[in-house]
Every structure is written in structure tokens, then in C-alpha cells.
Amino acid sequence: MTNPYAPPRAAVKDVIDPQATAVPADRGTRLGATILDGVIFGGMVYLPLIVVSFMAGALRAGQGPGSLGSFVAVGGLFTIVGFVVWCWLTIRYVLENGQTIAKRMFRIKVVRSDGTAISLGRIFWMRNMLNTLISMIPFYAFVDALFIFSESRQTLHDKLADTIVVKA
């Protein structure tokens, strides 16, 4: 016979908190990934333009301005192709696992602060565009970077976007 005055009983499933299992990425790893992302972008987008500029200068000094326009057009084409390839790789990796090219190489990723996957829109608008606009304020980038030394290891742009960077 059941006691009508007994407290209710229920079967409770143990739920794993995704944030409890996520290990925050090291500060040095995040810095290395940021630097490498800049180098990769520069190599894919700006390097072709710089190389073509130097070659165009050499062509102009040696032969005159005859085919200079076609040379610059080829450099611009390589720059556009590099940018498109960089965008394609970055969008692909962000959609797959919340990673940039360098974050993938360093085995770290961006997730929401509750541990769930992050959307491309949140990374683009909240982490990148909003942060770029706020970066016009003097010393913001310096203060943003200093927040990495907090206990949560979240920079200001992480806090604005409600994200954390964890080991993948």
C-alpha cells in the first residue's frame, strides 16, 4: 500500500553539463591561433598583391609601361581568388566545428558559453563585426586582450558574443 502523504518520487537522469566537460583553451594557444590566422589571411590575400606590385615595378623599370595593366589585373585576380578560398575554408570550418583555419590546426574551437555549438551568424556578427566596430575606441583592443587573464579566460568579445574557446 502506498502512503498518500509520502513525498513524490521520480526517476532522475544524470545530465552532463557541457561546460563542465569543456576544457578552456590555453591563453598561449589562443594567441598563437590568432597570429597564425592573420599570417594565413595575409599569405592568401595580401601576398599575391605585394608580389605582383614588386614584379610590376621591376617590369616598369626594365621595359616601360607596356603590359603593366595586364600584370596588375593578374595580381588582382590572384588576390580575389585567395580571398574566396580563405572565405570558403573559414566558413566551412566554422560550420563544421566553430573553428577558423588556425584554430583547427591548434585543435581549439569556439562554442557558446553553455557548451552548445555556435552559429556562423553569431561568430560573424557578434564576435567579428561588433568587435571591429567597438575597436574604433582607443585602447579597446588592449583591454579586450587583457581580459584573457580572467579566471574564465573570456575576452571582451567572448563576453559580448556569449562564447568561450575550448580545446576541440
Which pTM was predicted? 0.79
**With bands split at pLDDT 50, 70 and 90, how would you rate the model's confidence at 19?**
low
159 pLDDT more than 80: yes
**70: pLDDT strictly greater than 80:** no
Give the residue-averaged pLDDT of 26-30. Answer: 95
According to the model, what pLDDT value does residue 31 have? Answer: 95
Supply 137's cell numbers. 575606441
- pLDDT digit string (tens) for 84-125? 999 999 999 999 999 999 999 999 999 999 889 999 999 999
Which candidate, 115, 112, 99, places its Cα nearest to that of 162?
Answer: 112
Q: What is the pLDDT of residue 65?
A: 54
pLDDT in the model for residue 74: 81
- pLDDT, residue 49, reads 84
Provide the pLDDT for residue 54: 82
State the pLDDT at residue 98.
94
- Rounded Cα gap, residues 105 and 110, in angstroms: 13
